[in-house]
């Protein structure tokens, strides 16, 4: 098999798997006569998607905005905390255990508290997205900073570099691959956060749409909602994977 | 001539009171503008000696003076090429060579206004070591020897008045190495900075240096000092001079003796 052919097969594998799963799904629903309020066939879901495309688009946009706002906050705060933890042993000793403890709390449990403070609506969704996504960013940036090779630091220190110089010239560039890798994880978590908050405390967004559809027994519409979330998640992941590849090619030694 | 670098009875112990004693009772004097070489068996503390003199590592005992002042921390008048090239992988060769200019005063404040001049200087250095066409490459695209040569350029870019080289030519083939001896000698003859070279290659030490210090096995100290008064500028012909060969022989015998002794002990 030629190299080009193998690569194109490799690239089309995910699509083949998806199409295969859909075909099996459709066939089993039809053959086993599964009622559509239990499991709608892909064709029904597609029909629901087309029928409600207007509201779905609106709600999806709303979800997307909340997610991006929470994610943006997560990047800022995650970077700041990561830099502080990664560049100071004292902050590390004080903050790291607290962060680990915080991260082990299921965030769903916090949503009612957030609602109490921020009310029902977008701020709650943004806050939940933020809470879920800042942690991996902070931990990754801190790891990148804390694992700088002492030899590299010696090169700068021997020239009289200050702590700030070390962070700017070595720590941060060195932490960038870790940072971008964490963005892929964080954006997915931000989606999870937004949708969770929307299902609990919102009157807009995909999460809300699904709760509505559920109470009205519109099962196909619920699945359409799940599909939309999945597509949004994959798309944003792909965007950040592409950015990562552009920004940190040196870390891959040009392998990819 | 005055002494530019002095070590008085210096000891260095790594990792607390029970750690490795790398150096003990090391004495050494290097005059201003002199080219000194340090040789000795592997693990005797040569790289540690360099770290002490750059101020990266405080001595456990004893005193170190550079240019009349006690060393209490890194000095910006030093340029150092470490044994391990440690070029920054996210920077191109040219950017790596420019790095000291972003740190050392006054250059760091003149980066924008003197950019062209600095770039020309970095390119010039890369050219003298034969890396002109690789300036836009990243370090991991280069061989170990090429990285070492870039490392040498980086240590020279800010015109240090004290240059320290820790086995800068270790990963090079014999021909490139001898070529770079010439290059380094030319730069040194032109700028006359004080230089300390650590090397395993005794011919390299004698070829380049005015004075060669021989170190004992660990814990290291200076046990012999050889003055090399061969005329400058030295050429490869010099290496066939009986006087040259004689000094190399003396040092070789001394190191062989040290190795014997430390094996017996
Ligand atoms: N960071 C460190 N922590 C603990 N021990 C160290 C450290 N660096 C060096 N040593 C020890 O100090 C001794 C001297 O090491 P050094 O690197 O100075 O030797 P060297 O003469 O440069 O050897 P080589 O010629 O092989 O480069 C060695 O025994 C080594 O194990
Ligand atoms: Mg060494």
Q: Is pLDDT at A123 greater than 80 in this prediction?
A: yes
**pLDDT, chain B, mean:** 89
The least confident of A16-20, A138-142, A244-248 is: A244-248
User: pTM here?
Assistant: 0.81
Q: Is pLDDT at A256 greater than 70 in this prediction?
A: no
Helix axes A89-103, A122-146, angle to 10 degrees: 140
pLDDT along chain B (265 residues), means of 10: 84 85 88 92 89 89 88 86 88 93 86 88 91 90 88 91 90 86 90 92 92 89 90 88 91 88 78
B-chain CB neighbours of A154 within 8 Å are 51, 56, 82, 86
- The pLDDT value recorded for residue B129 is 87
- Among A147, A148, A142, smallest CA distance to A103 is for A142
Taking the C-alpha atoms of residue B149 and residue A202, their distance in angstroms, rounded to an integer, is: 63
Closest CA of chain A from B108, distance in Å: 11
DSSP B2-38: -EEEEEEEEEEESSSTTS-EEEEEEEEEEETT-EEEE
Q: Is pLDDT at A252 greater than 90 in this prediction?
A: no
CB-based contact B85:B151 (threshold 8 Å): yes
Chain B stretch 8-37, residues whose beta carbon is closer than 8 A to a beta carbon of chain A: none
Beta pairing, strands B211-215 & B222-227: antiparallel
Taking the C-alpha atoms of residue B178 and residue B92, their distance in angstroms, rounded to an integer, is: 26
Enter the DSSP assignment of B43: T
The pLDDT tens digits of the residues spanning A57-73 come to 999 999 999 999 999 99
Q: Is pLDDT at A254 greater than 70 in this prediction?
A: no
What spacing in Å lies between the alpha carbon of B228 and ligand 2's midpoint? 23
**pLDDT, chain A, mean:** 89
- The pLDDT value recorded for residue A255 is 60
The pLDDT tens digits of the residues spanning A191-222 come to 999 999 999 888 899 999 999 998 998 899 99
- What is the b/e burial string over B84-114, where b = at least 16 CB atoms within 10 angstroms of the residue's CB? bbbbbbbbbbbbbbbbbbbbbeebbeeeeee
- Among B88, B86, B82, smallest CA distance to B138 is for B88
Ordered by start, the domain boundaries in chain A are 1-34, 37-252
**Atom 17 of ligand 1, residue of closest alpha carbon:** B47
* Ligand whose nearest atom lies closest to the CA of B42: 1
Taking the C-alpha atoms of residue A96 and residue B241, their distance in angstroms, rounded to an integer, is: 65
Fold classified for B1-74+210-265: Rossmann fold (3.40.50)
- The pLDDT value recorded for residue B176 is 85
- Among A252, A234, A238, A228, smallest CA distance to A177 is for A252
Which candidate from B76, B90, B102 shows the least CB-CB separation from A173? Answer: B90
- Kindly report the CATH class assigned to A37-252: mainly alpha
Closest ligand 1 atom to B83 CA: 27
Name residues with Cβ closer than 5 Å to ligand 2, which is an ion.
B 47, 83
- Among residues of chain B, what percentage have pLDDT more than 90? 35
- Interface confidence, given as ipTM, is 0.82
Nearest 5°: the CA angle A29, A31, A33 is 60
Name the helix (H) or strand (E) containing A67.
Answer: helix A53-87
Q: Do B74 and A159 touch (CB under 8 A)?
A: yes
- The pLDDT value recorded for residue B25 is 84
- The pLDDT value recorded for residue A80 is 93
- Judge residue B181's burial from the number of C-beta atoms within 10 Å of its C-beta, 0-12 exposed, 13-18 middle, 19 or more buried: buried
The pLDDT tens digits of the residues spanning B123-166 come to 999 998 888 899 899 998 888 888 988 999 999 999 899 999 99
The residues, ordered by sequence, that sit 6+ positions from B139 with a Cβ below 8 Å of its Cβ are B85, B87, B88, B89, B91, B93, B96, B147, B150
Half-sphere CA count of A112, side-chain side, radius 13 A? 2
Cα-based distances in Å from A63 to A51, A126, B87: 20, 9, 45
Ordered by start, the domain boundaries in chain B are 1-74+210-265
């Amino acid at each position: 098999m030629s190299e080009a052919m193998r690569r194109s097969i490799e690239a089309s594998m995910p699509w083949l798997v998806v199409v295969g799963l859909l075909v099996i799904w459709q066939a089993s629903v039809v053959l086993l006569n599964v009622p559509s309020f239990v499991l709608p066939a892909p064709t029904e879901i597609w029909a629901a998607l087309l029928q409600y495309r207007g509201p779905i688009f609106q709600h999806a946009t709303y979800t997307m905005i909340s997610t991006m706002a929470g994610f943006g906050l997560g990047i800022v705060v995650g970077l700041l905390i990561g830099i502080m933890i990664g560049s100071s042993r004292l902050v590390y000793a004080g903050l790291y255990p607290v962060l680990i403890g915080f991260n082990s709390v299921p965030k769903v449990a916090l949503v009612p508290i957030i609602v109490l403070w921020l009310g029902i609506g977008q701020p709650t969704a943004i806050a939940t997205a933020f809470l879920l996504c800042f942690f991996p960013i902070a931990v990754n940036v801190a790891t990148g900073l804390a694992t700088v090779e002492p030899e590299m630091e010696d090169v700068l220190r021997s020239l009289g570099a200050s702590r700030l110089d070390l962070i700017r010239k070595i720590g941060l560039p060195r932490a960038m691959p870790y940072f971008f890798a964490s963005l892929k994880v964080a954006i997915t978590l931000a989606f999870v956060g937004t949708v969770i908050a929307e299902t609990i405390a919102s009157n807009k967004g995909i999460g809300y749409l699904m709760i509505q559809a559920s109470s009205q027994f519109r099962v196909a519409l619920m699945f359409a909602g799940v599909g939309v979330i999945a597509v949004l998640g994959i798309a944003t992941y792909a965007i950040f994977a592409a950015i990562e590849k552009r920004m940190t090619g040196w870390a891959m030694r040009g392998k990819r | 001539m005055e002494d530019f670098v002095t070590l008085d009875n210096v000891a260095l112990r790594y990792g607390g009171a029970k750690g490795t004693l790398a150096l003990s009772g090391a004495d050494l004097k290097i005059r201003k503008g002199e080219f000194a070489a340090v040789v000795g068996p592997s693990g005797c503390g040569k790289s540690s000696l360099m770290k002490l003199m750059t101020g990266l590592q405080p001595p456990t005992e004893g005193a170190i003076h550079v240019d009349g002042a006690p060393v209490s921390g890194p000095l910006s008048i030093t340029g150092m090429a470490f044994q391990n090239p440690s070029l920054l992988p996210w920077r191109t060769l040219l950017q790596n060579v420019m790095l000291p200019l972003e740190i050392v005063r006054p250059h760091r404040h003149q980066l924008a206004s003197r950019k062209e001049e600095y770039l020309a200087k970095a390119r010039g250095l890369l050219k003298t070591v034969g890396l002109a066409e690789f300036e836009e490459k990243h370090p991991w695209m280069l061989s170990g020897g090429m990285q070492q040569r870039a490392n040498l350029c980086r240590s020279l870019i800010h015109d240090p008045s004290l240059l320290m080289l820790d086995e800068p030519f270790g990963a090079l083939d014999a021909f490139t190495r001898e070529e770079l001896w010439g290059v380094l000698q030319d730069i040194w003859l032109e700028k006359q900075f004080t230089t300390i070279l650590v090397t395993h290659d005794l011919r390299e030490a004698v070829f380049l240096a005015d004075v060669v210090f021989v170190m004992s096995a660990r814990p290291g100290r200076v046990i012999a000092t050889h003055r090399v008064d061969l005329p400058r500028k030295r050429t490869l012909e010099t290496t066939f001079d009986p006087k040259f060969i004689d000094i190399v022989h003396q040092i070789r015998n001394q190191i062989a003796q040290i190795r014997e002794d430390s094996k017996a002990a």
